[in-house]
Amino acid sequence: MDKSRRQFLKILTGTTVAATVVPKAAEAASANKHFEGYPDGLGVLHDTTRCIGCRQCEEACNKVNDLPKPEKPFSDKFVFEQKRRSETGVFTVVNRYDGVGPNGEDVFRKFQCNHCLEPACGNACFVNAFKKTKEGAVTYDASVCVGCRFCLLACPWSLPAYEYDNAYSPVVVRCTLCRPRVLEGKLPGCVEACPMEALTFGKREDLLKIARDRIKKHPDRYIDHIFGENEIGGTSWMYLSAVDFNKLELNTNVGTTPTPKFTAGALGAVPMIVGLWPVFLTGVWAMNKRKEKIAADEKATAVAAAVEQANAEADEKLKAAQEKANKAKEKAIDAAVKKALKDAEKALAEEKA
């Protein structure tokens, strides 16, 4: 991670703030306008009735994005014992929902950024780090991100995760819909790797037709709903299921109104405070540093006390062991002396006899 790309101290001078904040404020103001999205954009349809939880999509995502290898292999199914989400070095996961199927069977569902048509993260970001592209992906520009985490709060799916390896360069961790691969004419890594064709990539409108056709042909297999068609104004990642989506941790009560419509008015005032943001973040950083120092001092004191106590206990044990050894030695000497005297008396008695 490049530690020099966004040094906060550089933007604390008046001239730099003026040069940096005003353009970003203008961009943020324009970003708060209602955006209809790209209806001809691309997306993915996830048919949960076909997913077997093989995790090959996870492995492919890890490979094509050059992410660090997990501690346990992707063939390990014990990961399903707990619900997972995207995090540092992990763009997507598959979760298992025990016994929720129509016949009591387990159901698997892939978890990643849904790439909303009108992304709440983009509307909440006052530095315009998130943008919806015509290809369908919501992109993220780490070079302008200030780590405010408004995107995390705004996301209706609670999907973005943050990597804070450096206080000056926070990075959002999330699925990219494999946009670089798509621009090269390739499939997203997860779609290409799925052995059950549970993931279908294509134009969003075509995916909706495919989904409606499956529901029509197999009404006994699917519930009559395409999750993501209209939720929060629609998403580029959509789902089919045999059970209520709420059982798969997909909230159907989010409504169909895009979140920017709810937040545009309030967020229109955000650019006014952008100039104060570096100062605020620097203050937070200083406070965190102070907390870290206090915690470090307390830890050092606790460690020193623990070491002192351990040394005292060790001294006591050593003293007790030495005393025990001395007593044993004295007892052995006494026994040896008594035996020697007894043997001498016996020998003397034999000589007299």
Evaluate whether 204 touches 237 at the Cβ level (below 8 Å).
no
Does residue 17 carry a pLDDT above 70? no
Cα separation, 242 vs 223, in Å, equals 5
pLDDT for 116 equals 94
148-152, 224-228, 230-234: which is most confident: 224-228
Q: Which residue has the higher pLDDT, 74 or 252?
A: 74
Cα separation, 260 vs 179, in Å, equals 24
Calculate mean pLDDT across residues 178-197.
97
- Work out the pLDDT band at 188, boundaries 50, 70, 90: very high
Place of tokens 């069977």: 105
The alpha helices in the chain, defined as continuous H runs, are 14-31, 56-64, 120-124, 150-154, 179-183, 189-193, 204-217, 259-267, 277-352
pLDDT for 117 equals 93
Calculate mean pLDDT across residues 245-253.
93
Q: What is the pTM of this model?
A: 0.67
Evaluate whether 114 touches 228 at the Cβ level (below 8 Å).
yes
Does residue 54 carry a pLDDT above 60? yes
pLDDT for 284 equals 58
* Strand residue runs (E) in 29-160: 42-47, 93-97, 107-111, 130-132, 138-140
First to last CA, the chain: 100
- Work out the pLDDT band at 6, boundaries 50, 70, 90: very low
pLDDT in tens, 86-135: 888 899 999 999 999 999 999 999 999 999 999 999 989 999 999 999 99
Cα separation, 182 vs 41, in Å, equals 12
Calculate mean pLDDT across residues 215-226.
97
Does residue 78 carry a pLDDT above 80? yes
- Work out the pLDDT band at 333, boundaries 50, 70, 90: confident
Does residue 1 carry a pLDDT above 50? no
Taking every pair of Cα atoms in the chain, the longest distance, rounded to a whole number of angstroms, is: 126
**Amino acid of residue 341:** L
> What CATH code would you report for 8-268?
3.30.70.20
pLDDT for 256 equals 85
Q: What is the mean pLDDT of the chain?
A: 81
- Work out the pLDDT band at 314, boundaries 50, 70, 90: confident
Evaluate whether 113 touches 174 at the Cβ level (below 8 Å).
yes
Half-sphere exposure of 210 (CA within 13 A, CB side): 19
- What is the layout of strands, in order, in the sheet containing 199-203? 199-203, 42-47, 237-240
Does residue 265 carry a pLDDT above 70? no
Does residue 219 carry a pLDDT above 50? yes
pLDDT for 334 equals 79
Calculate mean pLDDT across residues 20-26.
38
pLDDT in tens, 116-127: 999 999 989 999
Concatenated DSSP letters of 216-270: HH-TTTS-S--BTSSGGG-BSEEEE-SS-GGGGT--TTS-SS-HHHHHHHHHTTG
90: helix, strand or coil: strand
Evaluate whether 57 touches 237 at the Cβ level (below 8 Å).
no
- Work out the pLDDT band at 337, boundaries 50, 70, 90: confident
Cα separation, 66 vs 91, in Å, equals 11
